[in-house]
């Protein structure tokens, strides 16, 4: 198989990756046949998967716009993925020129492509690091150099916590990150859940099996479990809700039923 320039030598391109599967769902071109094959298998059970991803991106853009309108100029986007249309720095800068963004992902393609796209941009950085090791992210030269942690930061954990298993204590990881942030900081989060999926749970469970097969377990959590990530934050209205219901731009009747799968929310640190 030919290796394109955006695929670092270190990666095994015969193994599917979460970030490249997601890129495929969103209509991107940074994916291989193994990724497309896994995505198509998941879509056999849940044909609305791309709609969920689109609703997720649309929420993220609304939440970044909201944070910027509230005066936030610094963003830490962990599990940022392969750059696609409407990235955090584009949305943030439209409202706040000079906004600073640190992107973090543990996927080598996401990091390499992000670094290539953002080369020479002094107000952004793309870091290879793992959400399960929050202190390494906080102590890294990019966060230290680009973000002033004494001022509010929007911490984005969008569609990433459902890839962190309970054994790795994602609640503690979020708390560790949150503890380092100044009052007025925001947590922007989406998370997969069986709640809201317009399918019987057994059928949705087959999608979870596909991710298990590719050794990137997808952990569905209940609304109550997802709410725990916001410990110490005050929820911004309308709270933890299905993605299209969070401060929508469009009329709800325009939404696909699959867009209501999972939850989204924004919290403000007191
Ligand atoms: C579904 S994509 C979401 C991308 C983006 N946040 C969005 O919502 O459009 C999930 C991303 O999280 C990354 N990821 C998964 N587990 C991670 C971890 N433990 N640390 C850092 N990144 C992780 C994956 O590599 C992938 O790029």
Give the H/E segment covering residue 37. Answer: helix 33-45
Give the H/E segment covering residue 235. Answer: strand 233-235
Are 32 and 58 spatial neighbours (Cβ–Cβ below 8 Å)? no
Give me ligand 1 centre to Cα 247, in Å.
24
Q: What is the C-alpha to C-alpha distance for residues 41 and 47, in angstroms, rounded to an integer?
A: 10
The structure tokens listed for 109 are 């393609």
Query: Going by C-beta distance under 8 Å and a sequence separation of 6 or more, which residues neighbour residue 145?
Result: 125
Dihedral, 14, 19, 22, 28 alpha carbons, nearest 10: -80
Q: Looking at residue 84, what is its pLDDT?
A: 85
Q: What is the C-alpha to C-alpha distance for residues 114 and 83, in angstroms, rounded to an integer?
A: 6
Q: What is the C-alpha to C-alpha distance for residues 191 and 119, in angstroms, rounded to an integer?
A: 30
The structure tokens listed for 224 are 């109550």
Q: Looking at residue 1, what is its pLDDT?
A: 62
Q: In the chain, helix, strand, coil percent, each to 5?
A: 45, 15, 40
Instruction: Report if pTM > 0.85.
Output: yes
The CB-side HSE value for 51 (13 A sphere, CA atoms) comes to 16
List the residue whose alpha carbon is closest to atom 26 of ligand 1.
Answer: 19
**Domains in the chain, CATH or no CATH each:** 53-269 (3.40.50.150)
Give me ligand 1 centre to Cα 110, in Å.
9
- 10 burial via Cβ count (<10 Å: 0-12, 13-18, 19+): exposed
Q: Is the CB of 175 under 6 A from ligand 1?
A: no
Q: What is the C-alpha to C-alpha distance for residues 114 and 78, in angstroms, rounded to an integer?
A: 13
The structure tokens listed for 39 are 């995505």
Q: Is the CB of 87 under 6 A from ligand 1?
A: no
Q: Is the CB of 110 under 6 A from ligand 1?
A: yes
3-state secondary structure at position 16 = coil
Q: Is the CB of 158 under 6 A from ligand 1?
A: yes
List the residue whose alpha carbon is closest to atom 9 of ligand 1.
Answer: 57
User: Which sign, positive or negative, has the C-alpha torsion 156, 148, 127, 70?
Assistant: positive
Q: Looking at residue 86, what is its pLDDT?
A: 87
pLDDT along the chain (270 residues), means of 10: 79 91 94 95 95 96 98 98 91 96 95 92 97 98 98 98 98 98 98 95 94 93 98 98 95 88 97
The structure tokens listed for 27 are 């209509």
Q: Looking at residue 188, what is its pLDDT?
A: 98
Q: Is the CB of 54 under 6 A from ligand 1?
A: no
Give me ligand 1 centre to Cα 18, in Å.
7
The CB-side HSE value for 28 (13 A sphere, CA atoms) comes to 24
Q: Which ligand 1 atom is the nearest neighbour of the CA of 168? A: 19
Q: Looking at residue 110, what is its pLDDT?
A: 93
């Amino acid at each position: 198989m030919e290796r394109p320039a955006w695929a670092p030598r270190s990666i095994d391109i015969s193994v599917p990756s979460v970030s490249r599967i997601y890129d495929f769902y969103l209509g991107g071109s940074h994916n291989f046949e193994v990724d497309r094959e896994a995505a198509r298998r998941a879509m056999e059970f849940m044909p609305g998967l791309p709609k969920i991803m689109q609703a997720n991106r649309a929420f993220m853009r609304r939440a970044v716009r909201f944070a910027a309108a509230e005066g936030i100029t610094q963003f830490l986007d962990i599990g940022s993925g392969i750059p696609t249309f409407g990235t955090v720095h584009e949305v943030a800068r439209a409202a706040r020129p000079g906004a600073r963004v640190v992107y973090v992902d543990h996927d080598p393609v996401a990091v390499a492509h992000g670094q290539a796209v953002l080369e020479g941009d002094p107000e952004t950085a793309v870091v290879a690091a793992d959400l399960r090791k929050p202190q390494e992210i906080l102590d890294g030269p990019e966060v230290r150099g680009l973000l002033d942690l004494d001022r509010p930061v929007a911490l984005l954990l969008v569609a990433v916590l459902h890839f962190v298993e309970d054994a790795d204590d994602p609640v503690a990881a979020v708390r560790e990150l949150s503890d380092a942030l100044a009052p007025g900081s925001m947590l922007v989060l989406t998370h997969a859940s069986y709640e809201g999926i317009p399918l019987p749970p057994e059928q949705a469970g087959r999608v979870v099996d596909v991710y298990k097969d590719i050794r990137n377990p997808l952990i569905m959590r209940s609304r109550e479990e997802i709410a725990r990530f916001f410990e110490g934050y005050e929820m911004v209205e309308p709270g933890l809700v299905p993605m299209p219901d969070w401060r929508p731009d469009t009329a709800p009747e325009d939404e696909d039923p699959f867009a209501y799968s999972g939850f989204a929310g924004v919290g403000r640190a007191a």
